[in-house]
Amino acid sequence: AGPVRYVWAAARIAVGWVFLWAFLDKLFGWGFATPAAKAWVNGGSPTTGFLKGTADHTFGGLFTTLAGQPWVDWLFMIGLAGAGIALTLGIGMRIAAAAGGLLLLMMWAAELPLTTNPFMDEHIVYAIVLAGLALTGAGTTLGLGTQWAATPLVRRFPILK
């Protein structure tokens, strides 16, 4: 209640923007994390750079085989865009939290063992925040969560809340 709901709403929008920005930068190569030459629209693979860099990590064999696979690129980009849009708008919070959390946990696993901490990094922190966002109904404050929940589709399938 009160100011707490605005803190959760701000966290929702901020984390949504992190996902949405990652999608946009990988799609268009705006030069922040992805140079234009490696943009998805220019034929680059949004997963190759990160996953190829995991070769020496615990699960490197698994993740390097996934690098650059078209189906992996599509799933990754759909996950980034879907979570980013849903979180930013405050709709589909349960699905966004589950999908975004899974994506983050896979990225965390790809980097094991971590170099700066035995097990905790920003991927785990973001996943915990996503769970909090879904559990607190953060989409209803400064978002379209209330309107979304009232749609016939969401009333019929409440998992889409």
pLDDT at 121 over 80: yes
pLDDT given at position 129: 98
Residue 18: other Cβ atoms inside 10 A: 17
The residue whose two tokens read 């220019």 is 42
Chain segment 54-97, per-residue pLDDT in tens: 999 999 899 999 999 999 999 999 999 999 999 999 999 999 99
Listed in sequence order, the residues at least 6 apart from 113 whose beta carbon sits closer than 8 Å to its beta carbon are 57, 58
Residue 152 pLDDT > 90 = yes
> What is the count of structural domains for the chain?
1
Q: What is the mean pLDDT of the chain?
A: 96
State mean pLDDT over 97-117. Answer: 95
Quote the distance between the C-alpha of residue 119 and its chain's center: 20
Q: pLDDT class for 3, splitting at 50, 70, 90?
A: very high
Average of per-residue pLDDT across 104-126: 95
Side-chain-side CA neighbours of 135 within 13 Å: the count stands at 6
Domain range for residue 19?
A: 3-160
Q: What band does 1 get if pLDDT is binned at 50, 70 and 90? A: confident
Q: Is the pLDDT of residue 16 over 90?
A: yes
Task: Supply the pLDDT for residue 119.
Answer: 93
Q: What percent of the chain has pLDDT over 70?
A: 100
The residue assigned the tokens 């896979």 is 106
Calpha distance 3→52 (Å, rounded):
44
Q: Is 57 helix (H, G, I), strand (E, B) or coil?
A: coil
**Spatial CB neighbours of 32, under 8 Å, sequence gap ≥ 6:** 21, 25
Indicate the pTM of the whole model: 0.94
Euclidean distance between CA atoms 36 and 14, whole angstroms: 25
d(CA 8, CA 97): 13
Question: The tokens of 6 are what?
Answer: 């605005």
